[in-house]
Amino acid sequence: MSEWRNLTSVEAAERARLLDVSSYDITLDLTDGSGGPGAGTFRSTTRVSFGCSEPGTSTFIELAAARVRSARLGGVGLDTSAWSARAGLVLPRLAAENRLVIDADFAYSTSGQGLHRGVDPVDGEVYLYTQFEIADAQRVFACFDQPDLKAAYAWHVLVPAPWTVVSNAPVERVEPGRVPGTKTVHFGASVRMSTYVTALCAGPYHEVSEHHDGIRLGLFIRDSMRRHLDADELFLITRQGFDFFHRQFGPRYPLPKYDQVFVPEFNGAAMENFGCVTLGEEYFIFRSRVTDFEHEKRANHILHELAHMWFGNLVTMRWWEDLWLKEAFADWAAYWCSASNTRFTDAWTTFLSIRKNWGYRQDQLSSTHPVHSRMPDVDSVEANFDAITYAKGASVIKQLVAYLGTDAFLTGLRAYLSAHSEGNATFDDLLTALERASGTGLREFAAQWLETAQVNTLRPAVSVTADGRYESVAIEQEAPAEHPTLRAHRVAIGLYDVDGRRLRRRERVELVVTGRRTAVPGLVGVPAADLLLVNDDDLTYAKVRLDPRSLATVLDRLPGLESSLARALCWAACWDLTRDAELPAREFVRLVCTALPSETDINLITSALRQVQAAIDQSTLRQVQTVLDHYADPAWAPIGRRRIAEAALAALTVPPAGRPSEMPPAGRSSDMTAAGRPSEVTAAGPTARRDGGRRLAWARAFVCAARAPAELAVLRGWLAGDGVPDGLAVDTELRWAIVSALVAEGAAGTEEIDAELARDRTASGERAAATARALIPTPESKELTWRRLVGEDLPNWLRRALLCGFYHPSQLALTRPYVPAYFAAIGPFWNTHDNQAGQEFVVSGYPTIHVEQSVVDATDAWLADPGRPGPVRRLVGDGRDNQLRAMAARARDAAGR
- What band does 680 get if pLDDT is binned at 50, 70 and 90? very low
Continuous H helices in 817-852: 818-832, 835-845
Residues whose CB falls within 8 Å of the CB of residue 320, separated by 6 or more in sequence, listed in order: 9, 134, 147, 375, 378, 381, 384
Kindly state whether residues 442 and 464 are assigned to the same domain: no
Tell me, rounded to whole angstroms, the distance of Cα 844 from its chain centroid.
15
User: Where a domain ends, among 449, 470, 505?
Assistant: 449
In a domain, 829, yes or no: yes
- What band does 264 get if pLDDT is binned at 50, 70 and 90? very high
- Contacts of range 519-523, beta carbons closer than 8 Å, 24 or more positions apart: 519/472, 519/473, 519/474, 520/473, 520/474, 520/475, 520/493, 523/470, 523/473, 523/493, 523/495
633: left (phi over 0), alpha (psi -120 to 50) or beta: beta
Report the distance separating Cα 477 and Cα 495, nearest Å.
20
Give pLDDT, residue 659: 31
In a domain, 773, yes or no: no
Give pLDDT, residue 672: 29
Q: In one letter, which amino acid is 209? A: S
Report the distance separating Cα 343 and Cα 237, nearest Å.
9
In a domain, 802, yes or no: no
Other C-beta atoms closer than 10 Å to the C-beta of 196 total 25
Nearest to 268 by CA among 257, 279, 277: 279
Which pLDDT tens digit goes with each residue over 734-790?
Answer: 999 999 999 999 999 999 999 999 999 999 999 999 999 999 999 999 999 999 999
Give the C-alpha distances (Å, rounded to integers) separating 203 from 125, 158, 304, 496, 767.
8, 12, 26, 58, 21
Does the pLDDT at position 174 exceed 70? Answer: yes
Catalytic status, residue 305? yes
Give pLDDT, residue 872: 93
In a domain, 556, yes or no: yes
Report the distance separating Cα 623 and Cα 106, nearest Å.
34
In a domain, 469, yes or no: yes
Does the pLDDT at position 675 exceed 70? Answer: no
- What band does 673 get if pLDDT is binned at 50, 70 and 90? very low
Report the distance separating Cα 468 and Cα 199, nearest Å.
65
Give pLDDT, residue 655: 61
Can you tell me the mean pLDDT for 161-170? 98
- Do the Cβ atoms of 400 and 370 come closer than 8 Å? no
Give pLDDT, residue 342: 98
Looking up residue 382, the CATH number of its domain turns out to be: 1.10.390.10
Q: Which of 112-116, 670-674, 715-719, 848-852 has the lowest mean pLDDT?
A: 670-674
Does the pLDDT at position 25 exceed 90? Answer: yes
Report the distance separating Cα 496 and Cα 369, nearest Å.
36
Would the CA dihedral through 737, 738, 743, 746 be positive or negative?
A: positive
Report the distance separating Cα 707 and Cα 811, nearest Å.
12
DSSP state of 475: E
In a domain, 856, yes or no: yes
Task: Please count the CA atoms within 13 angstroms of the CA of 748 that sit on its side-chain side.
Answer: 27
Report the distance separating Cα 620 and Cα 618, nearest Å.
6
In a domain, 805, yes or no: no
User: Where a domain ends, among 186, 203, 220?
Assistant: 203
Kindly state whether residues 80 and 176 are assigned to the same domain: yes
Question: Three-class SS string for 164-215?
Answer: EEEECCCEEEEEECCCCCEEEEEECCCCCECHHHCCEEEECEEEEEEEECCE
Report the distance separating Cα 836 and Cα 819, nearest Å.
22
Report the distance separating Cα 174 and Cα 826, nearest Å.
48
Number of domains present in the structure of the chain = 4
Kindly state whether residues 416 and 478 are assigned to the same domain: no
Can you tell me the mean pLDDT for 326-339? 97
Kindly state whether residues 28 and 94 are assigned to the same domain: yes
Question: What is the percentage of the chain residues whose pLDDT exceeds 70?
Answer: 95
Kindly state whether residues 503 and 388 are assigned to the same domain: no
Kindly state whether residues 402 and 461 are assigned to the same domain: no
Which pLDDT tens digit goes with each residue over 376-395?
Answer: 999 889 878 899 999 999 99
Give pLDDT, residue 865: 96
In a domain, 117, yes or no: yes
Q: In one letter, which amino acid is 706? A: A
3-class state of residue 21 by DSSP: strand
Can you tell me the mean pLDDT for 419-446? 96
Tell me, rounded to whole angstroms, the distance of Cα 420 from its chain centroid.
28
Q: What are the φ and ψ backbone dihedral angles of 533, each rounded to 5 degrees?
A: -110, 105
Give pLDDT, residue 382: 83
Nearest to 555 by CA among 581, 593, 611: 593
User: Where a domain ends, among 422, 449, 476?
Assistant: 449
DSSP state of 883: H
Tell me the whole-structure pTM to 2 decimals.
0.94
Q: What are the φ and ψ backbone dihedral angles of 355, each rounded to 5 degrees?
A: -75, -50
Report the distance separating Cα 442 and Cα 438, nearest Å.
10
Does the pLDDT at position 593 exceed 60? Answer: yes
Helix, strand, coil fractions of the chain, as percent rounded to 5: 45, 20, 35
- What band does 690 get if pLDDT is binned at 50, 70 and 90? very low
Which pLDDT tens digit goes with each residue over 648-671?
Answer: 999 998 764 443 333 333 332 333
Higher pLDDT, 721 or 618: 721
Which of 305, 599, 733, 756 is the catalytic position? 305
DSSP state of 879: H
- In the chain, the N- to C-terminal Cα span, in Å, equals 47
Kindly state whether residues 443 and 466 are assigned to the same domain: no
- What band does 620 get if pLDDT is binned at 50, 70 and 90? very low
Q: Which domain holds residue 391?
A: 315-449
- Do the Cβ atoms of 302 and 192 come closer than 8 Å? no
Can you tell me the mean pLDDT for 309-320? 97
Looking up residue 135, the CATH number of its domain turns out to be: 2.60.40.1730
Report the distance separating Cα 347 and Cα 392, nearest Å.
16
Kindly state whether residues 410 and 526 are assigned to the same domain: no
Give pLDDT, residue 897: 58
Cis, peptide link before residue 102, omega less than 30° from 0: no
Residues across the chain: 897
DSSP state of 605: H
Give pLDDT, residue 284: 96
Mean pLDDT of the chain: 93
Higher pLDDT, 614 or 279: 279
Kindly state whether residues 336 and 191 are assigned to the same domain: no
Kindly state whether residues 341 and 463 are assigned to the same domain: no
Q: Which of 130-134, 181-185, 279-283, 680-684 has the lowest mean pLDDT?
A: 680-684
Question: What is the percentage of the chain residues whose pLDDT exceeds 90?
Answer: 92
Kindly state whether residues 40 and 168 are assigned to the same domain: yes
Can you tell me the mean pLDDT for 48-67? 98
In our burial notation (b when 16+ CB lie closer than 10 A, e otherwise), range 284-302 reads: bbbbbbbbbbbbbbbbbbb
| DSSP per residue, 497-533 | EEETTEEEEEEEEEEEE-SSEEE-GGGTTSBPPSEEE
Kindly state whether residues 339 and 469 are assigned to the same domain: no
- Contacts of range 108-111, beta carbons closer than 8 Å, 24 or more positions apart: 108/38, 108/39, 108/40, 108/41, 108/42, 109/139, 110/265, 110/795, 110/796, 111/267, 111/795, 111/796, 111/833, 111/834, 111/836, 111/837
Which pLDDT tens digit goes with each residue over 358-375?
Answer: 999 999 999 999 999 999
Q: Which of 287-296, 327-336, 517-526, 650-659 has the lowest mean pLDDT?
A: 650-659
3-class state of residue 822 by DSSP: helix
Does the pLDDT at position 405 exceed 80? Answer: yes
